[in-house]
Amino acid sequence: MSNLWGGRFREATDASAYKFNQSISFDRRMYREDIEGSIAHATMLGKQGIISEEESCLITDGLKKIREDIESGVLIISDEAEDIHSFIESVLTERIGDAGKKLHTGRSRNDQVALDMKLYTKEQVKETDTLLLMLQKELLSIMEANIETYMPGFTHLQKAQPVTLSHHIGAYFEMFIRDRERLADIIKRMDTCPLGSGALAGTTYDLDREMTASLLDFKGGPTRNSMDSVSDRDYLIEFLSALSLIMMHLSRFCEEIIIWNSNEYGFVEIDDRYSTGSSIMPQKKNPDIAELVRGKTGRVYGSLMSLLTTMKGIPLAYDKDMQEDKEMAFDAMDTVKDCIREFTGMISTAVFQKDTMALSAKRGFTNATDAADYLVKKGVPFRDAHSIVGRLVLKCVGKGIALDDLSLDDFRTESGVFEDDIYEAISMKTCVEKRLTKGAPGRKQMAEAIEFYREYTGG
């Protein structure tokens, strides 16, 4: 298949060097974007009189037919092409003749590649955002059903204070809100069109860059500097950074699911459809999906670091190093979307063991702070109250019981301030419900949060 260059060369490219230089194996996925950009460019060329209207129509119709044939399977993208741009232009020229050779007028592969990658990335940002919204809707369903599902909250992976499953899940909902805000911000900043920048210095043709930007739905219009236009990959680094944060949040969530799924915790039962077994141990039911999401986080981090490293020493404007942006970026985009999908399926089918969670909160002395607060409200200095309850916890540890299981005499041996109302004061329900500050797990606060989340998800 012919190249888009070669006139000044006496010899053909070495076969292995040609293969090393090719990008068709991975940039073929951008055929839609390449065709879309070429249609806009040809339309503008015709309108500006740079090519005839007849040639413009012939080119655009030919490009639309190529897209249709690729999507129907009639046309197979050839591995012999150097890149997707060469393939599409070669097929177009074969089909419509010399008019196809005029498509590249006023355009370089540099601004063509920059355009294709921007268009592709914009679509990937939107698809990722849609998947995160679907995940948030599933999390909201879990939250709505578990406002009174009491469980231990943790610090240092030690049981700390009682919360609800709804409140705990809400923390992840907030993380994904921030993730989606970052995605929206990326779209705003990258929404300018590089087409018309040429190789690096624009062109002598009377291009209407505002027209092509509008046809391609770039809200920010054309880019302002042609050198920056063809060498900018900031938007891609930002997207990989945002994807890394999404994976970090998913990984933290998976870590907790893995821990909660263990026999020692027993907080959650992962559905069989999202678990695997052992080839040797018949009893095993492993949380492999959660583990894989956790593991793939490093893979996405690697893509980010690889692109940062690739870009750090590149002089203006375009250099072939930048071809290395695609494989790592495509892999990260695919990986994150797959992880969100599988995690959403896993969490939406999981069964949370409410009684086990509540018992764990009780036996973990998560109501100890509330017992100290009980004494403070009766006039005991907090430091004294802290010490009194600490001794009571130590007594419980020795007996293998919870604070709630102590007799009133046990309480009163440490402080005569204790009365029968201590049991109500340190019940899980009371401990959670009396937390009234905004953002706390109390019923009123959670009801307000859930209402906000419903509006946020359009539910």
In the predicted model, is pLDDT for residue 1 greater than 80?
A: no
When pLDDT is cut at 50, 70 and 90, the band that residue 4 belongs to is: low
> What is the arithmetic mean of pLDDT over 103-128?
98
Average pLDDT, the chain: 96
Could you give the CA distance from residue 444 to residue 423 in angstroms, rounded to a whole number?
Answer: 23
Residue type at position 15: A
- In the chain, pLDDT over 90 holds for what percent of residues? 95
Distance between first and last Cα of the chain:
53
Please give the model's pTM, rounded to 2 decimal places. Answer: 0.94
* Whole-number pLDDT of residue 18: 73
Q: How far apart are CA 197 and CA 118, in angstroms?
A: 14
**Tens of pLDDT, residues 325-378:** 999 999 999 999 999 999 999 999 999 999 999 999 999 999 999 999 999 999
Tell me how far apart the alpha carbons of residues 144 and 136 are, in angstroms, rounded to a whole number. Answer: 12
Q: Give the angle 156-161-163 at the CA atoms, nearest 5°.
A: 110
Exposed / middle / buried, residue 208 (Cβ in 10 Å: 0-12, 13-18, 19+):
middle
Q: What is the mean pLDDT of residues 151-178?
A: 97
Longest dimension (CA), the chain: 101
The catalytic site residues sit at 156, 278
CA distances for 101 relative to 28, 67, 392, angstroms? 21, 18, 87
CB 119 within 8 A of CB 37: yes
Region 264-283: mean pLDDT is: 95
Say if residue 10's pLDDT is above 80: no
pLDDT of residue 2: 60
User: What per-residue confidence (pLDDT) applies to 6?
Assistant: 64
pLDDT 10s digits, 294-336: 999 999 999 999 999 999 999 999 999 999 999 999 999 999 9
pLDDT grade, residue 148 (50/70/90)?
Answer: very high
The residues facing 162 across adjacent strands are: 152
Backbone φ, ψ for residue 150 (5° rounding): -80, 140
Tell me which residue of 173, 172, 179, 177 sits closest to 253, measured CA to CA. Answer: 172
Q: Give the tokens for residue 4.
A: 């888009």
Residue 435's alpha-carbon distances to 123, 355, 439, 441, 443, in angstroms, are 43, 21, 9, 7, 9
Distance between CA 456 and CA 265 in Å, rounded?
A: 33
Set out the domains of the chain in order of their start, with CATH numbers.
15-105 (1.10.275.10), 110-205+220-358 (1.20.200.10), 359-457 (1.10.40.30)
Q: How far apart are the C-alpha atoms of 245 and 182, rounded to whole Å?
A: 10
Tell me the average pLDDT across 185-212. Answer: 98
Task: Provide the residue count of the chain.
Answer: 459
Percent of the chain having pLDDT more than 70? 98
Give the pLDDT band of residue 16 (cuts 50, 70, 90). confident
Q: Which helix (H) or strand (E) holds 87?
A: helix 84-96
- In this predicted structure, the answer to whether residue 170 has a pLDDT above a threshold of 70 is yes
Q: How far is CA 315 from CA 122, 251, 310, in A?
A: 26, 36, 11
Task: Round to whole Å and give the CA distance between 372 and 68.
Answer: 72
* Residue 19: per-residue pLDDT: 80
| pLDDT at residue 3 tops 90 | no
- The token pair at 371 is 């017992």
- Provide φ and ψ at 80, rounded to 5°: -80, -15
Residue 5, pLDDT > 90, answer no
Closest to 59 (Cα-Cα) out of 28, 37, 32, 31: 37
What number of other Cβ atoms are within 10 A of residue 111's Cβ?
A: 27
Classify burial at 324, counting beta carbons within 10 Å of its beta carbon; exposed 0-12, middle 13-18, buried 19 or more. middle
- Which helix (H) or strand (E) element contains residue 176? helix 165-190
Distance, CA of 221 to CA of 192 (rounded, Å): 5
Do residues 179 and 245 lie in contact, with contact meaning Cβ atoms separated by under 8 Å?
yes
